[in-house]
Structures are given as structure tokens and as C-alpha cells.
Structure 1
Amino acid sequence: MFYRCNSRRSASPLFRFLFAAALTLTSLSVFSADMNTWFREFKQNASDQTLYKLLWSLPKGGDLHHHLSGAGFSEWWYDIATRPEQNGGYRYYTKTRLLQCRGYGTNEYGPNPQNLLFRTIQASTYAALNDCEKQEYELLSELDENTKLAWFNSIRLDKAHEGRNEFFERHWQRLNELNNNPHIGAHILLKNMQAFAAEGLQYLETQVNVDRSITPEGELMSPAASLKVYTDMLASEAARKTGVTVRFQYALLRFLPHAEKHLRWMYDFVDQHRDLYVGINMVGREDNDKGHPLRFLPVLRELRRQYPAINLAIHAGEVDEPNQHVKDTLLLGAQRIGHGLNTITDPDTLLLMRHGPYLIEINLISNRLLDYTEDYASHPFPEYLRTNIPVALTTDDRGMWDSTLTDEYYVAVKEFNLSWQELTGLARQSLQHSFLAEDDKQTALNTYEQRLRQFAGALAGDGVSSLPQAAPKRRFICDYQPTLCHQG
């Protein structure tokens, strides 16, 4: 065996020769077969730490299902929000006490809940509060260590009893006005690019909205001014240094009363910014029937009469009960399905998607933590993968899971015994089904194959021990596989 797990043995001369020969073959199938044999034996002998190390350095394609507003780790949010010199001159306060200033039972729910700890507001909003309300808040930068840790935990799923209600109805309302600051968003984007580059990602397709930004004074910022903050960041040396290619989607919150009007606006906006925006995504809880897919069929048909084609990647099938939302979403014109969990309950649609042009964006960790699957064994991912439905692993709201893309890969390998061909096929399909322009897509695929061969060559030479050490593990993976975080 040429790999190194717990021993320091070098590759045998015979295997090195055979492996080097395989790398020179033009047939990808021969190369993959050779690596399949190696990877199968590797999995049988490697420790959890060694497997994770391999997957961390493994070249990865694209992350196609990525909510930027949910992709910041708690410490990232705090660091940027408490540094006015970095965040555009904003200062933030967060609610740390409940004094019932407006009376018990008044406005406990809705967009401005009074009973929600760690709801964060900017200084201009704080200045407009009455004296009682101001006593409920503390300056974010002056929290003591215990309160700061509680703030960190308030925007991630860190307890077993937390699930989708905590996520959908609390996390976003706590972040609140942090998500209205494009400077924070741009820095969260940069930190994602840097973190993704470290674990081998080459393409990121993330959701960025710019029509709700507000200035430090609390005034609405123009979409053009907000977008410039992001484009300036992408043009920065720090962003270019990552080597990660980034494109944006615009996200429509599907169940709002005026969603059709907003969709018309964003269609026009995306059409004017096709160099950066490559598609539109419909997001939001699918168990809120006000956002059902066919609601948007008339307006999409109207818009397709006015604009050249715009790509659609739409959330569908992220529900417990069987329904035909995936089928209806394909009728809307979607090229990619976000989650697609209950596709398996709709045989006609399942058959339609086999060998088809539609990809399902798989979010193993998200689906488990939000209790859409009882356990990983009940997830339909392997059924899709092994019946030739295009799939790719994605991270969804990784900051709130406190996880990485490598964690998704690790769960997939441990739970479903992926082969080398399946593992690398996930990355290929993420690039093949990206919304990159065709020339850029082919370039990305060629780059991936080159990176993969270089990676395999490094393994043939010095084994896994030559790979860089993985970054410190996040909370999710330590809970899922405690042995990964017990380092001697």
C-alpha cells in the first residue's frame, strides 16, 4: 500500500510504478478504476483522523447551495460587527435583558419580537428606543465573556432540542440588522472564500441580496451602492489570492405577500448584472403553503416573455410530507433543486430526473439538524446518487451548523461508503451543473481534473502524511465523530 495511515512506510516501488503509469494514461476510466481500488483499501485501514485529513485536502468543485447570510461562523460575525473601521463605521447593540417595556404579551412574535434575547440592532435603531428599551441592550463590543459565548451560541444550532423552528424563527431575527450591512456581508464572503480555498473548493455560487441595505444612519442604501461594496471586495487582493471563483444568485423569500413584485424587480436587476449574477433562487420554509411553487408560474411566464433566459435554482422537497413540489418546481423552469428530499416519494418525478439535466443540491447536515431526516440512514442521497440522478454536496447555512464542506464529504463517506468515482463525481457534477458561462464551465472542469491528478500524484509519492493538516474541527464534526477532535 502506498498510503500512510498510522505507519511511516513509503509506497512500494511496484505500486509507485503502477500508479505513475496510471497517471499517464489518457483514459479517465482507467485512472478512476485504479483510484477506486486504492480508496477502497484506504478506507478499510485508515483512522478517522487520516480519512478526514484526506477529505480536507481533496480537490472539490463548487458549493452551489450557499446562503451567504447563514454562512458566517459566530466568531466571524462578532469580529466584523465590533470593528467599525472594518464594517463601514457601524456600531451594534444586542438585547441581553427582557424588561417587558411594552407590556407582557405585546408584540412577542413577528418581525420585531420583544421577547427575543440577542436580537442585534445598529446604533441608529438603538438611538430611537425609549429609556426602558435601551436598558435591555448592551453594546456588542462590550459583552463579558459568558454573554459573548451565549451570543455566539444563539446563532448556531448547538443544543439537541433545537431544530427548524429555532433556525427559521430565531437565528435570522437575532442577526437582524447585521444582514443589512453590505460591508459585513462582503467580509463574510471573503472569509468564506478563504476558508473554502483551504479545503480545496474552486467555485462558489452564493446568494447575495442588495436591496435591503441600510446606512449607519438608518437610511436605505441604493442597490448599486450596496453591490459596489461586494464587487470591491471581490476585486481585492485578499479575495483574488484565494483562487476561488464566485458568482451570485438573487434570493426570493417565496411566502411574502408581495413576492411576485419582488421577483419582477430582481429579474430586471439580474438581467442588468449578468456578469456577476448567474441566477435566481426561491427560498424559505416550504411548509408555509403561501410560497407553493405554482404560485409563481404566471409571473415567470410573463417575465420570460420580456427577458432572455435567467437560470433558476429553487428550493423544493425540503418537507416531511409527500407532495409534488419538486415536479411543480421543474415546471417553473428550475435547472437545479435545492434539497429535493421528498423527490423519492414522487416516482414519476424521480424517473424524470434519472440521467436528466436537473441536479439535486444535497445538504446532509442541514437536513439532519433540522429534523427533515430521522438519521442519515434514512436520507435519500444514496438512492439518487446510485440511480444516476445528478447530485452535489453543498453546505446550505454552514455557519449555523458550525460545519464545513469537508464535514459534508466526511458524513457521506462514513454513512454511505462512497467510492472514489462517486466522491470525485460529486465535484464534477457541481461544476457541470453550475451556472457559469459554458466556456468558464469547461475551464473549471479542466482545472478540476488537473488538480485531481496532481493530488493523486502527491498521494502516490509520499502518501497522506504529505498532505497539510486540516484546520481545527468545527462543533458539528466534533459532535458527529468525537474521535476526530481527540488529538494526541
Structure 2
Amino acid sequence: MSRTRACLLALPAALSLATATPLAAAPVVGREAAVGAILAEAARDPNELRLFLHRLPKGGDLHNHLSGALYAEDMIAWAGEKGLCLAPDGAGFVAPPCAPGAAVADVAKDRPALYGALVDSLSTRGWQVGVGTGASSGHDQFFATFERFAPALIGRDADAMIAARRQAAGDGVLYLELDHNPPALLETALGAPAVALDVAGLGDFYSREAPGLVARVPAMRAQIDAEEATARQGMACGTAKAEPGCAIAVHYLAWALRDVPPAAVFRALILAFALAEQDPRFVGVNIVQPEDWPVARADYDLHMAMFRFLAQRHPGVAMSMHAGELAFGQVPPADLRDHIAKAVASGARRIGHGVDIAYEDQGRETLARMAREGVAVEINLTSNAVILGVKGAEHPLALYRRHGVPVVLATDDEGVLRTDLTREYQRAVQEHGLGYADLKAVSRASLEYSFAPGASLWRDHHADQWAKPCAGGVVTTPACRSFLAGSEKARLQLDLEQRFARFEEDALAATASSKKNT
């Protein structure tokens, strides 16, 4: 898909909603306060709160791993279609031939208890209500699921895209930034030669490997072309029967594994940076896998050097890095001292998780730098509670906000964690006391600090100060229309503002009607 075509996907919807009314007008302030009072009342009842937040426009989900976004039930269905078998221990899938009664299709059809146990093995559903908590930690249960469901997921990336889009559309999300690779990227990376690699050797390795790796990028782009075409067909996009998920704006972050040999990590990053530079659907790069695993801990500084090396050669590629996804006692104190600081110093424009910031030696300085430079933190409340055991007052969400660091809420792996973005907003209200204006700021930040291409609708990150072509919130002028046509990010932001205006009007009208009838 060309960059121009990608930018035009959301254009008709955004511009058709435009009116001559200044969306940034003064009455909005009073309206916000009134809706804030409605949220405060709803927060007294979790069910009322869920009803309120489900309709809340949520901007983007910027920390969303496509494989982890899938629910176990979908993968069980795919495993049945493939003829896969239930693993001997009942946790996950294996290739046929199947033992008697172990065909996944049969389990799904007439063995509900076994089916339920399988769902629990492929997610943290059971663990979160106490099933198996004595046998494994939330951390181990979570990361074990990926190997268990991998056989079902192979070859189903298009179906995964459909599922992610459907979930987003049903959750009030406008934009997804999915951590997703073409299948060939990791296959190529993991085929790296078994050679030692250190910081001093990055240049020579790059000179030898990069030309051949970059030559494979067109084939990887073709894989994404095929996945997206299948997904569009599966949702009837472009037809009268198009599903709501077709309207979700989607971009990708290419990623590397961090718990594999250095040559494989560097190969993956070389490909990820090249893909992000050549394909407008890929708007950045990332690094994944548990930060506490042995290789990830030992090679952390080397991985940061890889990012710096490649950023110099691809200065236009944005970086989001998982950093500080650690809890006190989980690793030796030395591993808590500087991971976030090093990621920021290596050029990360967003930090994924950032949970251990209070344990870093230069924590205050890093917070100040993130605030000053606009480095956002991706907060994943359910993920941090399940995987790290960090929640409530121990979670640094309030610390980041107090220091002026841009904050976004995200799902991380919503299928495995059995959550959604509404649930993350609900936890932010119930566990951290965020009010309506806070949630609105978080939602706006999820677009402002996204890597969606184009200039922001807002000046200096201030939602009440619109870019000069659209000053005052009047969006029907030729200058503003031209500006919006050239910026996918600005179009998404305009769409969000218009949705907020309708949401607030509907909330106030519903409250007025309720009072009238009581």
C-alpha cells in the first residue's frame, strides 16, 4: 500500500464529520466538568462505571502484541480446524496423530470441562481467580501460553488481524499500533550464524549481513500485503457489508526477541529498522520477551547499543522499548538501577511498562527527562498486576503523572490477560482515582504520542491549542482541510475530538432524562 493510500483511508470519515462549529470553544470546559460529575457518580458502582467507560472514546492502543491479543477460544477453534491434538498434559496443542479423545475438535465439541481447562492453560483466566496459583506465578503462567498456542496461530495472522480489529471496534478504540512481524522476519533472524557479537563488532556484522537482509524486505512486505488482503476480505471491507473493524486505523511495530543470541537480536533489528523505513504501515520498532530472563539481563547494554547503532543509520524510525518491566525482588538490585534511563538515552520515544522507575538510581532525573522530551510511558495495569504483582498504590502510574510524563493506557496482551482497553480505563479510575478530565487526557495522549504519520492537530501537545491551519477548532476552511488531508494523525485526533463532543452531549442528555423520569 502506498503512503498516499494509507493516509487517505480515514479521510472521508474525518472530514464528513467536520462542521463550522469551533470544537475547542469555551463551553466545552463546563461540559467536561458536568460529565466528570457523572463519572464520579458512576464510579461508586463498578457496573455503572463499566457502562460509562465502554462508550468512552479511547483513542489508540499503542502497546498491543497481536499474538497476545487473541482469545484462547479463537485459537482452540483454529487448532480444531487444523486437526491438532490436545497436548498430553492438557495444556496447549501438539501435531497429530492424536491419542483417543485428544483431538481438539472433539474436545471443543463435547468435553466442556476439558475445554475450560484448555482455555485456562492458554490464558491467565483461571490463574486470575486462583486456579493454579500455587503451582506457578502469574509471570510464568502468562509467558508459558505463547508456546502452548503457537501451533494454532501459525498461518492465521490474517485471522488474528480480523480478531484484533473486531475487538478494537467493539471497545471504542480508533487506532491500533500492533507489535507484529511478517513471519519471515523472525525466521530470518533466528537463522543467524552462531558467532560471538559484542559492541565493537556491530559495524563489521552490519557490513556483512545488512545487504542480504535488506534484500529480503520486499518479500516480507508481500507477506503483510497478503495478510491484510485476506483480513479485508474476511471483514467485507469496501463493500456495503463492511464490518466496523474495517474503519480501525492500524499500523505496526516490527520487533526483535531479547532472549536469543546477540546475532539473532541484531539481525531482527536490522530487518525491523529497514522494514519501518521502507513500508509506511510499519511506524516503528520494539524489543520484546521477559526482561528478567538470563540472556535479556546479561545483554541489555548490548541491545541498547544495537538500537543506537541502527538509529544513526535510520534516523526517521521511531523506537518504543519494553523497559523496566521488573518488580523489586524479581531480579538482583543491579538490574533495577538503570534500564529505563538507558532506553531513553538510546532514543526510545515511548517506554513500555516502566514499572521499576522508583528503583532506578537516577529515577527522578529520568522522569524529568521523559517529561521534558515528551517520552511517553505505556501503562498496562492488568499486565503489571498479573505478571509482576504490582498494582494499586505500588504501581507508578501516579508517579509518572505527578512528574508530568505523558501517560497512555494500553492492553499489552488483552486475549491472554482476558482484559480490554475499557477494563484498563476502569482500573485507572477504581485503583488510581483518575477522573474524567484525566481519562480524556490519556485518550488524547494515545494519539498524540502514537507513531501515526503526519503532524499533530495540536500545538506543543496542548489539545486546546490547535495547529495554525485549524486554529480555533474551525475545520472546514480550505487550509484546515488541506492540513488534515496530509496528516493521518491529525485526522485521528479530529475524529477523537468529535467523538468526545458527541459522547459528552449524550451523557448529559441521558442524565437529564433520568432525572426527569425520577
- The bucket for the TM-score relative to the shorter chain is 0.7 to 0.9
User: AA paired with 2:253?
Assistant: Q
Q: Which amino acid aligns with 2:317?
A: I
Which deviations, in whole Å up to 9, do the C-alpha atoms of 1:343-402 show, x marking residues without a partner? 2332211221224310000000110111341x3121110221233210111000111111
Corresponding residue number in structure 2 for 1:170: 144
Taking the aligned partners of 1:136 and 1:335, their CA distance within structure 2 comes to 52
Q: By how many angstroms is 1:454 displaced?
A: 0.9
> What TM-score does the superposition give when structure 2 sets the normalisation length?
0.71
Q: Is 1:370–2:387 an aligned residue pair?
A: yes
Q: 1:58 to 1:353 in 2, by over 3 A?
A: same
User: 1:431-446 maps to which residues of 2 (within 5 A)?
Assistant: 431-438=447-454, 439-446=487-494
Q: Once the 2 structures are TM-superposed, how far is the Cα of residue 308 of structure 1 from its aligned partner?
A: 4.6
Counterpart in 1 of 2:269? 263
Displacement of 1:50 in angstroms is 1.7
Q: Which amino acid aligns with 2:345?
A: L
Asked whether 1:147 is paired with 2:152, we answer no
Please state if 1:307 is matched with 2:314.
Answer: yes
Counterpart residue identity of residue 369, structure 2: L
What is the one-letter code of the residue matched to 2:223? S
Q: SS where residue 65 of structure 1 aligns? A: strand
Deviation at 1:339, TM superposition (A): 0.3
**1:40 matches 2:37:** yes
The partner residue of 1:327 within 335, 341, 360 is: 341
Residue deviations 1:273-306 (CA, integer Å, cap 9, x gap): 2x21111111111112522442124433432344
Q: Which has the higher helix share?
A: 2
- Aligned partner of 1:197 among 159, 162, 169: 169
Q: Percent identity?
A: 25
- Label 1:169 to 1:247 Cα distance change in 2 as closer, same or farther (>3 A): closer
For the residue of structure 2 that corresponds to 1:201, the secondary structure is coil
> Runs (4+) of structure 1 moved beyond 6 Å?
none
Alignment partner, residue 351 of structure 1: 368
Which residue of 2 is the match for residue 452 of structure 1? Answer: 500
Q: Is the 8 A contact 2:183 2:220 kept in 1?
A: yes
* C-alpha contact 2:351 2:377 (8 A) present in aligned 1: yes
Alignment of 1:388-467 (within 5 A): 388-438=404-454, 439-463=487-511
Q: Could you say if the C-alpha distance between residues 331 and 366 of structure 1 is closer, same or farther in structure 2, counting changes exceeding 3 Å?
A: same
Question: Structure 1 length normalisation: TM-score?
Answer: 0.75
* Equivalent residue number for residue 91 of structure 2: 118
How far 1:79 moved relative to its partner?
A: 2.6
Change beyond 3 A, Cα 1:351–1:307: closer
Are 2:295 and 1:290 aligned? yes
Quick check: 1:241 aligned with 2:255? no
Mean alpha-carbon deviation: is it higher for 302-311 or for 385-394?
302-311
Q: Structure 2 counterpart of 1:118, which letter?
A: A
- Write the distance in 1 (CA, Å) between the matches of 2:154 and 2:26: 49
How far apart are 1:263 and its partner, in Å? 1.5
Q: Confirm or deny: 8 A CA contact 1:356 1:390 kept in the other structure.
A: no
Larger deviation: 335-344 or 169-178? 169-178
Cα pair 2:92 2:121 within 8 Å, conserved: no
Unaligned runs of 5+ in 1: 1-23, 84-89, 98-115, 128-133, 216-221, 467-488
1:228 to 225, 236, 249: 225
- Letter aligned with residue 409 of structure 1: Y
Q: Give the Cα–Cα distance (whole angstroms) in 2 for the partners of residues 201 and 32 of structure 1.
A: 24
Distance 1:38 1:397 in 2: 30
Count of matched residue positions in the alignment of Structure 1 and Structure 2? 400
Distance 1:42 1:146, change over 3 A: closer
- Cα drift, residue 463 of structure 1: 3.4
Aligned-pair Cα RMSD in Å: 2.7
Quote the Cα distance in structure 2 between the aligned partners of 1:33 and 1:463.
Answer: 15
Q: Deviations over 1:421-479 (max 9, x none)?
A: 1011101000001111111111111110011001111122233989xxxxxxxxxxxxx
